[in-house]
Structure formats: C-alpha cells, structure tokens
Amino acid sequence: MSLAKRRGFVFQSSEIYGGLNGCWDYGPLGVELLRNIKEQWWQTMTFREDVEGVDAAILMHPTVWKASGHVENFTDPMVDCKECKARFRADQIEDAMCGSPAYKGRKAHKCQAEGKFTEARQFNLMFKTFVGPVEDSGSVVFLRPETAQGIFVNFLNVQSSSRQKIPFGIAQIGKAFRNEINTKNFLFRTREFEQMEMQFFVKPGTDVEWFGYWKEQRMNWFRGLGMQADRLQFHQHEPDKLAHYAKDAYDIEYSFPFGWGEIEGIHNRAAWDLSRHEEFSGKSLKFFDEQTKEKYTPFVIETSAGASRSFMAFLVDAYVEEEAPTADGKMELRTVMKFHPKLAPTKAAIFPLVNRDGMPEIARNIEADLRSQMRVFYDDSGAVGRRYRRQDEVGTPFCITVDSQTLQDQSVTVRERDSMRQERIVSGRLLAYLKERL
C-alpha cells in the first residue's frame, strides 16, 4: 500500500478531507495498469466472433432490481455494537475489530460474547438516489450493484442487431456500487468498484459443458497474464451457499497476504434472469432458432470479474523484494514489480548515461520515436543504477541507456527488468526489438 501511494498507483479518495471509507482513486500509474487489465480482458472477450460488447447506463429502471431479486435478496445481516455504535456484518464478526474504547484493539466477537450487540437486521446493499427534482418514492433509482442486469435487459437488442445466434455472449466493463457494511483490505471490498462481466447465452442442456469451458478459460486468462499458478485456486460454492440465481458456481480465488479471496465468480445462472425479466416486463425474451424451429429461454453462464480486485491481485502478485548486485559488485535489496509486459504501466525508460557529449539529444530522439507507439519515460537524473531501481519499482520491463559507444556505432544497451541482463541493440532496431518482447 505504501508503494502504491508513493509511486502513484492508488490514493485514498478525497484524502485532503480525511478520505471516504471504501473509495479509492487510481493515480497516474494505477490508471494505466487498470486500463491495461481492462483492455486485455476486452480483447480476450470481444475479439471472439461469438461475443459482443455493450456499455449500459449505471442508472436503470427500478423494476430491474425487483426482477433481478436484488430488492428482496441483496442484503447482509447487520448488527450494531451498543457500546461504540459501530456496525458490523453479523456473518463476518470474527474478523472485525471493535471501536469501543473499552474493547479497543480487541476482536468484535469478544463484545458479542458479552452481549453488547443488537439483534441482526437485514441491510440492503444498494445505494438509493432520486431521478428528477422530487425526492419521493416514485423517483427512487439505484446505483447498479452489478453490471450484469444491463446485459440481460439488452439481450434481444444485441442479439437481433448483431444477428448473433445461440450460443453467444455479451461483455461489459463498468462501475458497480455496493453499500458494504464493512469495507476492508484496501481495494478488496470497496463501495465503488469496477466489474468486467460476460454473460454467455446457451441452449438449456448445453449449460454444464459451457460452464466447464468458461471456468477453464477464465483461470487461463489470469495465468496467461503472469499470475503465479500456485496463488490461484477454484472454490466451488456449496449448494446451501449458492446465490439466489445460481445453479452452480465457482470462484477463482487469489492468495492475498490476508488469505484466499475471490477475484472472479463463474456462475451457471440457468434461465433465472431472462425468465424474471420476462415476468416483470411482460416482454418475451425467448430465442427462436430458425434451423430447428425451437423457441426457448436461453440459460446463462456468467463470468464476473472485479477489475479493481484483479488490479489488486496483479499488484500483489508482481511485488517482489530480492537481492540484486549494485554497479560496484555489492548486493542490495531491490523492490521490483514483475508485471507482465502487457500490463506494465510504462513499457520502456530511456536514459542518457551522462548529460553531455550529445547523449541527451540522442536519448530524446529515441524517446520521441518510441513515444508514438507506447508509454515511455525519460530520466536523466542520478546514477544509472538508481534510475534502474526507480523503474524496477514501477515494473518497467525495459531500460534503454545511451552511452559513449552509442556515439560511435549507434548502439544502445537494453536492460531487461527481471533478469537484469543487458544487450546492445542498434537504435534503429529498437522499436521492433521492444514490440517483439512486449
């Protein structure tokens, strides 16, 4: 967290006012990392011929949330501590700390054991607001708690406009809001976050096979972007723990420093969503198969990843502290973010070895050539070793140094972040060299 703040990945929201609980801002490097994660996901999903994208509104007709079951079911049990007035999720009390001066620093369940908690009440996690100037019950709308419903209500619009046939999917990336009772663990449980969801519509009876397919695809996506395999696992929901809409569900979990935590859910939602929207809207959402002349309500296989949670997992996964040799042969500790090159916020840094003999001019020319193709950084301050360390800390995969040999043969050194190996490359070949490796 300290590196994330110091190097501009993540800041507390409204920090100068003391912050707002459960909300975070992405800084200059954080926004690049987040965009790269979302871009990789978007490409993986929508470069396929059987998946289309949408970007639906955050505010939706309030009946959507009755149909989806959120008004009725999207609740957590809440208890109040009678001493300190703090609120806790009754089912997560073991992890919570009491705020009462008498119990400060003690786990909240100690209070409960002494009868200091109110009875549990159900608390709906949706944020309410109003459309238009009159704040009455007729104008209530909700900030969406998931992006999925924007996809379900557009199922037929997308299917008919893109002329897709079952099976096909709809993908969306966007903000979601949940008034979590307790936010915790940095970006893990926040009140405002981003989701990357894809709903795949299939013929009933083929759902089990597609569920298995998407489960594997999604696990491979995290691994393919460099996430360490032994820090990833599936967790199947037990039948009595399934969400109201799910027939089967697996989480992809990442081993965070605080333990295993879900980063994505893969759900077999069967016909729940489309049938409910048919019921509540009175409109048919059935698919007619021209070939077999069958008409049916498709089943849905959902892949629902948190962009913000994935961001945190990629950040944690990349963070390494290791021994590295200095220029004079001693060993020192270096912090390095070993991001996959596709995710790294900055792709290359360019350094003149010294600020004279025409080296800065050559380095600036190289920077200008590369800048139109990728995010690069120019740095001419301090010893080269220190410049390397600064780039290691933000995960820049390549550092290019212009030195005295460059003046003779136009070659530069390219140093790779993880191996720290250096190669001499003729500057005219640099772009092709980097593109191949990025």
Binding stretches for ligand GAP (CB under 6 A)? 146, 148, 178, 180, 189-190, 193, 195, 197, 262-265, 302, 304-306, 308-309
Q: Which is nearer to ligand GAP, 61 or 390 (CB)?
A: 61
Q: Tell the smallest beta-carbon distance from residue 249 to ligand GAP (Å).
A: 8
Q: State how beta strands 422-426 and 398-402 pair.
A: unpaired
Q: Quote the crossing angle between the two packed helices 28-46 and 307-318, to the nearest 10°.
A: 110
Q: Which is nearer to ligand GAP, 304 or 391 (CB)?
A: 304
Q: Which is nearer to ligand GAP, 22 or 341 (CB)?
A: 22
Q: Tell the smallest beta-carbon distance from residue 164 to ligand GAP (Å).
A: 21
Q: Tell the smallest beta-carbon distance from residue 383 to ligand GAP (Å).
A: 41
Half-sphere exposure of 74 (CA within 13 A, CB side): 20
- Among all residues, whose Cβ is closest to ligand GAP? 306
Q: Tell the smallest beta-carbon distance from residue 320 to ligand GAP (Å).
A: 24
Q: Which is nearer to ligand GAP, 190 or 268 (CB)?
A: 190
Q: Which is nearer to ligand GAP, 79 or 196 (CB)?
A: 196
Q: Are 49 and 69 in contact (CB under 8 A)?
A: no
Q: Tell the smallest beta-carbon distance from residue 275 to ligand GAP (Å).
A: 17
Token pair for residue 405?
């040999």
> For the residues of 249-309, what is the DSSP string, one character each?
EEEEEEEETTEEEEEEEEEEEETHHHHHHHHHH-----EEETTTTEEEPPEEEEEEEEHHH
Host H or E run for residue 424:
strand 422-426
Q: Which is nearer to ligand GAP, 252 or 384 (CB)?
A: 252
Q: Which is nearer to ligand GAP, 130 or 234 (CB)?
A: 234
Angle at 400 between CA 396 and CA 404, to 5 degrees: 155
Distance CA 195, CA 146 (A): 7
Q: Tell the smallest beta-carbon distance from residue 263 to ligand GAP (Å).
A: 5
Q: Tell the smallest beta-carbon distance from residue 16 to ligand GAP (Å).
A: 24
> For the residues of 147-176, what is the DSSP string, one character each?
SHHHHHTTHHHHHHHHT--SSEEEEEEEEE
| Helix, strand, or coil (residue 334) | strand
